[in-house]
A and B are shown apart, each in its own frame.
Chain A
């Protein structure tokens, strides 16, 4: 196999890994707890920017940066999660849209701190206990490890009594309250965890691409991530993995069918937009999902 082809394949796998982290973390919030959010790219972006800025300005090590990225993103997660206690379902989705845009605005316009639209180039390669992460294989191992860790964390939560409470909240908050669960606390916690995990993906993205700018962290990106969760199957453990594999590789496959590369980005979006509509119409629970954002009542 030629070197460029191998690197291309590794690149795809690395992206899949990053999206598995993003989709798994959003799955906790949207799939297991049933809170639809299109703010996830904001947490992704905060994670990326914190990691990048720390690496560039403070020259701290990667693991320290990831830790801080998780912490800051977690705080932002609480900021987004607390309003969910007052604002209901579809209005809350609009609120998450608003948070997403506000975060993008800050990243894009606080030029003195984030360099705004010009972005942050030259993000240094991570060094972890002496291991310099430089080749595509190195990055794949790094991303895979974090993806596996994230997946394991989500799994542990989902299969625990805590996870059972999340699913109860998804279907009937009142019942959850009546069985003594502090629903508000669960909702805020799940946002904190989801946001924190998304920040890991952001940190990885920042060091892998070594350049970030705000355009990677827009509403469209949030919608892409929720599409992965839904198409893969909300509320299932492997759903985000399947969704990431499908939605990352499918557009790439089309490249080989002779699509002009100018349209590649557009086609990619048409693909997941179209799949989103199709799945909503014919299989809202996605490939492997348990949950379809339905209340269960049938209307005539």
Chain B
């Protein structure tokens, strides 16, 4: 029984780490909460629905195109809204509010175009899944965990060892200094949006393949990613992974004990505790509080 809980928690963690990492990378270089990241997640699922189910493209093609379009969507958000605001000197709060507005507009567009009802892109009957150490896990769920581990590890290695990765870290630490060193922070930020949005799209597709989708799923998914980032530590991918794992496990253990309706409350309770007592998370650098 508990093995099943652990398995479920692991699948959830896999999704959270994808969303959290992608959100975290964008946050590191831009320093504001890109709430609209949630709708990119949703778009991953709905674009796949549109392309593969409605338009009949092969599933692989549909998914691939969808992820690409998600990356484009993220870039459009950057170029269209964030970059102009950024250059005007907008504070993180103004950017956060603009992001919220964008999320709301786009979520409602999805609602209007596709309807509010729950949809699925699962093909064929619901499969029973295989037994792994006593827990039932479907192939999609295994795929989710594998994909997540592979992608996040690749991203982590890429950021550590590539030139672009170093540029991103430079912009994350000190944008002004990075400019002086000849790094075009606009382009670095755009790349962060592209990569981050692509990853969010993948997460959306995986969730849609595993369970189902609704237009409002993005906000909740995003917040789980945010919790993972804050618990794990901004700027540390291993930290986010740890945070995602903690969150996924805590949620599903909690669900097992007190019921699934409290899933959100558990996640947000953990968030508040960390914000109050350890805002830098497990592995992040200390954040400056209000001071002189």
A residues engaging B (CB < 8 A)?
36, 83, 86-95, 97-99, 101-102, 105-106, 108-109, 173-174, 219-220, 223, 226-227, 230, 263, 266-267, 269-270, 272-278, 280-281, 284, 292-295, 297-300
Contact = CB atoms under 8 A, between A and B. Distances in A.
A293 B97 contact: yes
Contacts of A90: 32-33, 92-93, 96
Majority SS at the chain A contact face = helix
A111 to B, nearest CB: 9
B91 A295 contact: yes
A95 B87 CA distance: 28
CB-based closest 3 A-B pairs: A273-B104, A276-B101, A277-B101
Contacts of B272: 83, 95, 98-99, 102
Of B105, B107, B264, B288, chain A has the most CB atoms within 10 Å of the CB of B105
Given A83-B276, A281-B85, A105 B264 contact: yes
Contacts of A220: 104
Of B88, B226, B262, B272, chain A has the most CB atoms within 10 Å of the CB of B272
Contacts of A281: 81, 84-85, 98
27 contacts: A83-B276, A87-B275, A88-B288, A88-B289, A90-B96, A93-B33, A94-B226, A94-B271, A94-B275, A98-B275, A99-B268, A101-B223, A102-B268, A105-B262, A173-B290, A174-B291, A219-B219, A223-B100, A269-B104, A270-B105, A276-B100, A277-B81, A277-B101, A277-B105, A280-B98, A299-B89, A300-B87
Contact of B265 (A102, A227, A274): A102
Nearest to B179: A300
Contacts, number: 144
Interface residues of B, number: 50
Given A91-B287, A278-B101, 14 more contacts: A87-B275, A88-B287, A90-B92, A91-B279, A94-B230, A102-B268, A270-B108, A273-B104, A276-B101, A277-B81, A280-B90, A281-B98, A292-B94, A299-B87
A220 B35 CA distance: 13
B137 interface: no
A174 B292 CA distance: 6
Interface in B236-281: 261-262, 264-265, 268-269, 271-272, 275-276, 279
Contacts of A284: 90, 94
Given A95-B271, A276-B100, A266 B93 contact: no
Given A93-B93, A102-B269, A108 B261 contact: yes
Contacts of B282: none
A105 B263 CA distance: 9
Given A87-B279, A93-B33, A276-B104, A230 B223 contact: no
Contacts of A278: 101
